[in-house]
A and B are shown apart, each in its own frame.
Chain A
Amino acid sequence: MEKTNFNSWGRLSHKVHKGYRLGWKGEHWPESSSYLPFGLGRSYGDSCLNSQGLLLGTSQLDHLISFSDDTGELACESGVSLLELNKIFIPRGWFIPVTPGTQFVTVGGAIANDVHGKNHHKAGTFGCHVKAFDLLRSGNEKLRCSKEENSSYYKATIGGLGLTGLITQATLQMKKIKGPWIDQEIIPFKNLDEYFQLAIESDQNYEYTVSWVDCLARGPSLGRGLFIRGNHSSLASKKHSLKQPINIPFNFPDFSLNSLSIKIFNTLYFYKTFGRKIKNTVSYVPFFYPLDSLTNWNRIYGRRGFFQYQCVIPMEKGAETIRELFKVTSHYKEGSFLAVLKNFGSLKSPGIMSFPREGMTLCLDFPNKGSQTKKLMNDLDKIVLQGGGALYPAKDARMSLEMFESSFPNWREFLDYIDPQFHSDFWSRIFKK
């Protein structure tokens, strides 16, 4: 059995995480007290870790099974990465229907976390486009799951955090596109009110919308940022080539991210368009995956790792709650450079434990400074609870049982579908097992 350095993206855990890499879907699993599937480790907290048992590494469960050029229906094993799908299918005119902000995610991980992207307001979550999958349970029971077959397992596994069993393969509906280019617009906004206006306007005519926010700006500039929107371009003639990413080879020293350096970064980033609107055509890579150009960018946060905090607030209370959250963050001077704001649409995911729901979602990241950082997040929790919001387990390393229960009202129903031998550190933390 392999002893590996499996860890999550926030790198907050210093325990040993044992793993076994599966090469074939029929392969026998080594003996262990409990299991958890592990894809590419892009969950930030502990939802992809299982320090008490064994991680089933799926990154080599990466075979394609079938693809129809007529319908765009793709069947593949669960360890296939979105990077691989993009490399193979974008040149053929097909794109994954929903993509998160990184390509280093497996299909299985995208289902288990029911990931979302810049087109949530038009297309819903990743799970909305999963037609079927095979679920392998610890008793060697294999369930074919879809809306029609084993539908309760289908609904529990989409967003089920890998706890219902190992997804071995899935069938996805891909989306037809004209080419690898995106017609993009970047529009600076001076405060939150301008953001709310832009979001309502843009969500109608733009397939992809997202905004970056300078979370350290205060007073009249509170919530200033850049609104990014785009549509697939019909430009087809230009030659498209992929650039090699740059690797961050070592941990930055812990002091390198401080309130001053972040303030400087955020101010420069806000003014990168010189206060003007930009309109251009860019490759899908910088548009969807700006951070993929830096391999191991999580090392910038130093040895102690970092937290992400993502919540969604229902529309009715969205504006006031988001404003409150920014006030607290800027007061603590703890924000960082990845503050992202987006409106989710009303399309419902089939997953009963799915995080995205109609409302405004805000994602923040904080270098780990111990109790001070936790206190800030506890303060944010109170505001989120008041706003009737929810937190995202894939990014979480510290939410309370109370937060979890109010975020996922269906959690009791979910318990029936958890595989008795599947377990995660997230789950034992929430339920103090």
Chain B
Amino acid sequence: MKKILVFGATSAIAQAIIRKYAEKHCEFLLFGRNIEKLEILSGDLKVRGAKSVHHLIVDFSNSQSVSQSLHNALTLWNEWDMVLVCHGSLPDQEKMQNNFQELQNEYEVNLMSVLQILTVASNRLEKQNSGHIAVITSVAGERGKKSNYAYGAAKGALIIFLQGLRQRLQNHNITVTDLRPGFTDSPMTAHLKKGLLFSSSQKVGELAYKALEKKKDVVYLPSFWWLIMRIFCSIPEKIFKKLKL
């Protein structure tokens, strides 16, 4: 049975993905901020069929905490089958424009902690010559717009990092999947008005699971976002900069 590490396990999309793996009797090591939520989720996965579930608290804004949890993961399991990185926060763009500290904190969570995890995970998987890395990015990482470019830039950096990592690891029998959701109805977006383009986190999770099973490189969730982004990215900058987005 697969041994799966899940960072940001209590996020809505992560829950939907790993419930599918629980039905396949996988083993889990869950990381999250809130112990009560982790306990509830652990119980849920066990009833759904997980062979074993461990959970650990981590503060993604603190690199020492992340480093400690990676150390624990290395000692718990000497073989990792899948590393799923799902944590992230959607910061208030305006707040970060006026406060660099705020921006830096967000980058710790949305970018630096992920790079830290990927560094350890890629070396571990490379050594064992097998495994699967999957990271939730965002369509916001493809083009900057004034309403959320700080968040977008962090996700954009991740997208490029994953591209390089994929090339590096492809000869080692390792898949690197970029799970790229569009607008998702989840607690992270609870304050936003929901339009037609929103998908439920349940649906996004199920599509992500299918893509992971097919060992895809990059997948848009749902797939219609591929077309939207191709159009979005082809607008000349001269026009784009004047758009209210």
Which residues of A pack against B, CB within 8 Å?
Answer: 1-4, 20-21, 23-26, 60, 63-67, 76, 88
CB neighbours of B44 from chain A (8 A): 63-65
Query: Is B190 within 8 A of A24, CB to CB?
Result: no
Query: Is B47 within 8 A of A65, CB to CB?
Result: yes
Interface string of B160-190 (1 = CB under 8 A from A): 0000000000000000000000000001001
Tell me what chain B mostly uses at the interface: helix, strand, loop, or mixed: helix
CB neighbours of A1 from chain B (8 A): 190-191
A66 to B23, CA, bound (A): 15
A60 to B43, CA, bound (A): 15
Query: Is B193 within 8 A of A88, CB to CB?
Result: no
CB neighbours of B47 from chain A (8 A): 64-67, 76, 88
Contacts A23-B12, A63-B43; A88 near B190 (Cβ below 8 A)? no
Query: Is A63 within 8 A of B41, CB to CB?
Result: yes
A246 to B245, CA, bound (A): 35
Interface string of B36-48 (1 = CB under 8 A from A): 1100110110011
**Which residues 31-75 in B have Cβ within 8 Å of A in the complex?**
36-37, 40-41, 43-44, 47-48
A88 to B43, CA, bound (A): 15
The answer to whether B241 has its CB under 8 Å from any CB of chain A is no
Least Cβ–Cβ distance between A290 and chain B, in angstroms? 24
Given A24-B37, A88-B48, 10 more A-B residue pairs with CB atoms under 8 Å apart are A2-B191, A2-B194, A26-B36, A63-B40, A64-B44, A65-B43, A65-B47, A66-B47, A67-B47, A88-B23
Which residues of B pack against A, CB within 8 Å?
Answer: 12, 23, 36-37, 40-41, 43-44, 47-48, 187, 190-191, 193-194
Of the candidates B48, B190, B193, the one whose C-beta lies within 8 Å of that of A64 is B48
Query: Is A60 within 8 A of B48, CB to CB?
Result: no
Of the candidates B23, B187, B194, the one whose C-beta lies within 8 Å of that of A23 is B187
Least Cβ–Cβ distance between A202 and chain B, in angstroms? 36
CB neighbours of B36 from chain A (8 A): 24, 26
> Can you list 13 A-B contacts with CB-CB less than 8 angstroms, sorted by A residue number?
A1-B191, A2-B190, A2-B194, A3-B193, A4-B194, A21-B190, A23-B12, A23-B187, A63-B41, A64-B43, A65-B40, A65-B43, A65-B44
Closest to B37 in A: A24
Question: Which of the listed residues A3, A60, A88 has the most CB atoms from chain B within 10 Å of its own CB?
Answer: A60
Question: Which of the listed residues A23, A25, A26, A76 has the most CB atoms from chain B within 10 Å of its own CB?
Answer: A23
CB neighbours of A88 from chain B (8 A): 23, 47-48
A124 to B100, CA, bound (A): 63
- Report the 8 A-B pairs with minimum CB-CB distance, sorted nearest first: A64-B47, A63-B44, A64-B44, A67-B47, A63-B40, A23-B187, A65-B43, A24-B37
A3 to B12, CA, bound (A): 19
Query: Is B40 within 8 A of A24, CB to CB?
Result: yes
Closest to A2 in B: B190
Least Cβ–Cβ distance between B214 and chain A, in angstroms? 18
A24 to B34, CA, bound (A): 11
A60 to B187, CA, bound (A): 10
CB neighbours of B194 from chain A (8 A): 2, 4
A65 to B187, CA, bound (A): 22
CB neighbours of A4 from chain B (8 A): 194
CB neighbours of B23 from chain A (8 A): 88
Query: Is A66 within 8 A of B48, CB to CB?
Result: no
Closest to B11 in A: A23
CB neighbours of B191 from chain A (8 A): 1-2
Contacts A2-B190, A4-B194, A21-B190; A66 near B43 (Cβ below 8 A)? yes
A334 to B41, CA, bound (A): 49
CB neighbours of B12 from chain A (8 A): 23, 60
A4 to B191, CA, bound (A): 11
Closest to B36 in A: A26
A339 to B194, CA, bound (A): 36
A218 to B245, CA, bound (A): 61
CB neighbours of B48 from chain A (8 A): 64, 88
CB neighbours of A3 from chain B (8 A): 193
Least Cβ–Cβ distance between B189 and chain A, in angstroms? 9
Least Cβ–Cβ distance between B25 and chain A, in angstroms? 13
Closest to A3 in B: B193
A24 to B37, CA, bound (A): 7
A64 to B42, CA, bound (A): 10
A183 to B68, CA, bound (A): 58
CB neighbours of A23 from chain B (8 A): 12, 187
Contacts A64-B48, A65-B47, A66-B47; A25 near B193 (Cβ below 8 A)? no
CB neighbours of B40 from chain A (8 A): 24-25, 63, 65
A3 to B191, CA, bound (A): 9
A191 to B225, CA, bound (A): 55
A206 to B43, CA, bound (A): 37
Least Cβ–Cβ distance between A30 and chain B, in angstroms? 10
A26 to B225, CA, bound (A): 35
A3 to B192, CA, bound (A): 9
CB neighbours of A64 from chain B (8 A): 43-44, 47-48
A65 to B47, CA, bound (A): 7
CB neighbours of A2 from chain B (8 A): 190-191, 194
Closest to A24 in B: B37
Closest to A66 in B: B47
